[in-house]
A and B are shown apart, each in its own frame.
Chain A
Amino acid sequence: EPEVTQTPSHQVTQMGQEVILRCVPISNHLYFYWYRQILGQKVEFLVSFYNNEISEKSEIFDDQFSVERPDGSNFTLKIRSTKLEDSAMYFCASGGTSGRHTGELFFGEGSRLTVL
């Protein structure tokens, strides 16, 4: 069964460093998302991406963050100059095929980022 894959599963970084989280969405999906979940808190929307551009970003998604779809398969989240409060689980999700989106999102297993 097709699935969303994310790498790395865990990353530890020093404050101020740049981090790139990678995602391979399900191949025929057209909508891509990044969500974040700080330990013990709710799943929070960061950004949605459709037709090779950001369709919406939350107030969390400031200039520190960027997303790219560098080729036909990868969808990356870059966090520049990481801060302690960026420590969280980052989930990639995808959904919607050509002409149809049920609203269901398929989530990757997540990338746990720890900023020291």
Chain B
Amino acid sequence: GQNIDQPTEMTATEGAIVQINCTYQTSGFNGLFWYQQHAGEAPTFLSYNVLDGLEEKGRFSSFLSRSKGYSYLLLKELQMKDSASYLCAAPRSNDYKLSFGAGTTVTVRA
């Protein structure tokens, strides 16, 4: 099965940097996703890592270490609109069923 852990909440100020950690245990590895979910809305894709290392995409970067079963999402230059839940997710290798972590609620304060 898939077991995904991430912190419940994080708070940061506008303009700051926040790092959201995720540890996972999966039966077979097929990459690691990060999704953003604003309250009452659908999850939207942020990033996908399948190789070790850092993937940068604008203000958001995602890191993966397969040997450690660890990933993080880095949000830089935080803006108020970044207040949302960030979901770490792992797909299963046969049917790509996506299992989500419980999500990390990030609150950006002025």
Chain A residues in the interface with B (C-beta under 8 A):
31, 33, 41-45, 48, 50, 55-56, 89, 91, 93, 95-96, 101-110, 112
Interface residues of B (CB under 8 A from A): 30-31, 33, 37, 40-45, 48, 87, 91, 95-103
Q: How far in angstroms is the closest Cβ of chain B from A33?
A: 7
For A41, what are the chain B residues with a Cβ–Cβ distance below 8 Å? 102
How distant is B50 from chain A, measured CB to nearest CB, in Å? 8
Q: Are B101 and A103 in contact (CB under 8 A)?
A: no
Secondary structure of the A side of the interface? strand
Q: Given B41, B44, B91, B103, which contacts A42 in the complex, CB threshold below 8 Å?
A: B103
Q: Are B95 and A103 in contact (CB under 8 A)?
A: no
Cβ–Cβ contact B96 & A95, under 8 A: yes
By the criterion CB–CB under 8 Å, are B96 and A43 in contact?
Answer: no
Closest residue of chain A to B30 (Cβ to Cβ) is: A103
Flag if B100 contacts A42 (CB, 8 Å): yes
